[in-house]
Amino acid sequence: MNRSRKSNPHISGPAISPPAITGRETAADLVDQAFLAYNGARLREAARLLTERMLEEDVTVALSITGALTPAGLGMSALIPLIEAGFVDWIVSTGANLYHDTHFGIGLSMHRGHFQADDVALREQGVVRIYDVFFDYSVLLDTDAFFREVIAGPEFQRTMSTAEFHYLCGKFVRAREEALGIGRRSLLAAAYEFGVPIYTSSPGDSSIGMNVAAKALEGNRLQFDINADVNETAAIVWDAKAGGGKSAVWVLGGGSPKNFLLQTEPQIQEVLGIAEKGHDYFMAVTDARPDTGGLSGATPAEAVSWGKIDPDKLPDTVICYCDSTIALPLLTAYALARHAPRRQRRLYDRRADLMKRLKQAYHEVGRAKQGAGNK
C-alpha cells in the first residue's frame, strides 16, 4: 500500500513532541504541554472548551456538583474562585456538599486523615470519616444547631425554592464569617454575595433537609417548592437561548444533580412544548462507565436522544474520565490563567423576570397555546 503520509487525514494532527518538564511550569502550561493523550488529553480538551467556548460573554454556565467535594476543601480552593471570576452562573448541588461546606463558614474544622483507619476506634473516639477526611462528631451537632436556629427565623416560615433557601442561608453563613473574621470560606456565602442561585434536586437527602424535617415536627412552616426549582432552572436556560446566547453545562460527577441540570431542555421542549434544540456546550468529569446504564456515566451523545444536548454541537462536548478532586483544581487553575474574569450575571436577582419570560413563552408559543387552540 503506497500512500503519502501527508495526504492521510488520520495522521494530520500535531506531532507528539512535548518539551521536557522542568518544574517551573504553571498548571496551565503543564496541561497544554504534557496532557497529550488518553484522559490527560481529554482534560486538556475540557480545559480548552471551557476557556475558548464556554466562557464567552454570551454563554450562561451551569455547574452540577456531586461527591464529597466541599469536605475536601474544594469549595474554598476551586469553587469560590470560579464564582468570584464570574465563571459559574448557576449551580445544582447535592445537599451534602452544601451542608459540609457550612462547617467552614461557621468556624468549624475538618482534617486530613487516612482511609485505612479503624472505623470502630474512630466511632468510639467521636470521629467521623469521609474516606480520608476526619472531623469531630461535634461538627455535625454544631452545624445542625446552626441550621435549626436559622430556619426558625421569620423569613423561613413559608414555601420557597431551594435557590431562595440557599440564598437566605448563605446570608447567615456570610454574617458568621464576618463575625469570626475568617474571610470567605463558604460556597453558600459566596453564592449569596455574587447572586449565583444554587438548587438541590433532592433537598430531603442531606442533613440540611433532615433538620428542616425535624423543625416541621415543631410546627415550622418551611417547605421546599420543587415546582419552582424545575421551572426556575428551565427559565434560566430558556432566557439564555431565547436572548441569542448559549447554554453550557459543566458536570462534576453525575447522579441527580447532573440530570436536574440537563433536564432543563426536555422541560422546555417536551413538557412545555417550546421549540429548542438543547444545551450548546457539555463538559463532564466522571469516573463512571457508560455501559452500566447509570446516569453518572451517560455520555453527551446519549443526551442528544433526549433533546438535552444540541446534536449540532456534539463536537463541543468533552467527557473526561477522571476523579473530580484531580480535575477540578487543574481546570480552575487553567481557566483563571487563560481567561479574564467575566461580568457577574447575578441570575438569582433576576428569577422573577426569568419566570415571567418562560411563562409568557409557554402561553404564547408552547403547549398551553397549543392546548387552547384544540379546545
What is residue 309's DSSP assignment?
B
Residue type, 315: P
Contact yes or no for 209/203 (Cβ under 8 A): yes
Cell 408552547 belongs to which residue?
A: 366
User: What pLDDT is recorded for position 11?
Assistant: 86
Distance CA 64, CA 81 (A): 16
What's the pLDDT score for residue 70?
97
Q: Which CATH number fits domain 35-370: 3.30.1280.10, 3.40.910.10, 3.30.460.10, 3.40.50.300?
A: 3.40.910.10
What is the set of active-site residues?
Answer: 308
| 280/60 Cα distance (integer angstroms) | 10
Distance between CA 249 and CA 317 in Å, rounded?
A: 10
- The most distant pair of C-alpha atoms in the chain lies apart, rounded to whole Å, by 82
pLDDT at residue 110, as a whole number: 96
Q: What's the pLDDT at 323?
A: 94
- Region of 161 (left: φ > 0; alpha: ψ -120 to 50; beta: rest) is beta
Tell me phi and psi for residue 159, to 5 degrees. Answer: -85, 140
Nearest to 64 by CA among 107, 104, 22, 97: 97
Phi, psi of 355 (to 5 degrees): -65, -40
Cα–Cα dist 106/110, whole Å: 12
Strand partners, 112: 133
Q: Could you give the residue ranges of the DSSP H alpha helices within the chain?
A: 27-34, 38-49, 74, 80-84, 95-105, 119-124, 137-151, 162-180, 187-194, 207-216, 226-242, 255-262, 264-266, 300-304, 324-338, 351-364, 367-373
Could you state, in order of their start, the residue ranges of all structural domains in the chain?
Answer: 35-370
Phi, psi of 81, deg, nearest 5: -60, -35
Please state, in angstroms and rounded to a whole number, the distance separating the CA atoms of residues 244 and 232: 19
- In this prediction, residue 177 carries a pLDDT of 98
Q: What is the pLDDT along the chain (375 residues), one digit of tens a residue?
A: 555 556 788 888 889 999 999 999 999 999 999 999 999 999 999 999 999 999 999 999 999 999 999 999 999 999 999 999 999 999 999 999 999 999 999 999 999 999 999 999 999 999 999 999 999 999 999 999 999 999 999 999 999 999 999 999 999 999 999 999 999 999 999 999 999 999 999 999 999 999 999 999 999 999 999 999 999 999 999 999 999 999 999 999 999 999 999 999 999 999 999 999 999 999 999 987 777 777 777 777 777 777 778 777 777 789 999 999 999 999 999 999 999 999 999 999 999 999 999 999 999 999 998 776 555
| Cβ 140 vs Cβ 133: under 8 Å | no
C-alpha cell at 68: 464529597
Task: Work out the number of other CB atoms within 10 angstroms of the CB of residue 215.
Answer: 17
* CA distances for 47 relative to 18, 90, 269, 285, 308, angstroms: 18, 19, 30, 11, 22
Q: Which residues contact 128 (CB under 8 A, 6 or more apart)?
A: 122, 134, 135, 136, 137, 139, 140
DSSP assignment letter at 118? -
